[in-house]
Amino acid sequence: MKNKSYNVGDAITYIQLGGQHMTVVVTNKERDIKNGRPGFDGDDPSPGGGSWWGYDDQIIDVVNNSK
């Protein structure tokens, strides 16, 4: 991963469990998003994109937009 640090408002790309790459804008960070693992909630910025969640260890890139 290029950049591990992220905040609410940052765009992150991560690999979903099925292997698909997804980019979302982070809306929330949690120490325990599920199963005791840290992760995030995020919104897909594309039209009709929806809301998604993932684990921190699935992140492959971060664009720090929140600064």
Q: Please list the pLDDT of the chain residue by residue as tens digits (67 residues).
A: 455 799 999 999 999 989 999 999 999 999 999 999 999 999 999 999 999 999 999 999 998 876 5
| 44-62 pLDDT tens trace | 999 999 999 999 999 999 9
Read off the pTM: 0.87
Tokens of 64: 């720090």
Beta strand 51-55 with 59-63: parallel, antiparallel or unpaired? unpaired
CA distance 20 to 27: 20
Query: Taking a C-beta distance cutoff of 8 angstroms, is the pair 10, 25 a contact?
Result: yes
Q: Residue ranges per domain, the chain? A: 1-19+36-62
Neighbours of 59 (CB within 10 A): 20
Query: Taking a C-beta distance cutoff of 8 angstroms, is the pair 29, 40 a contact?
Result: yes
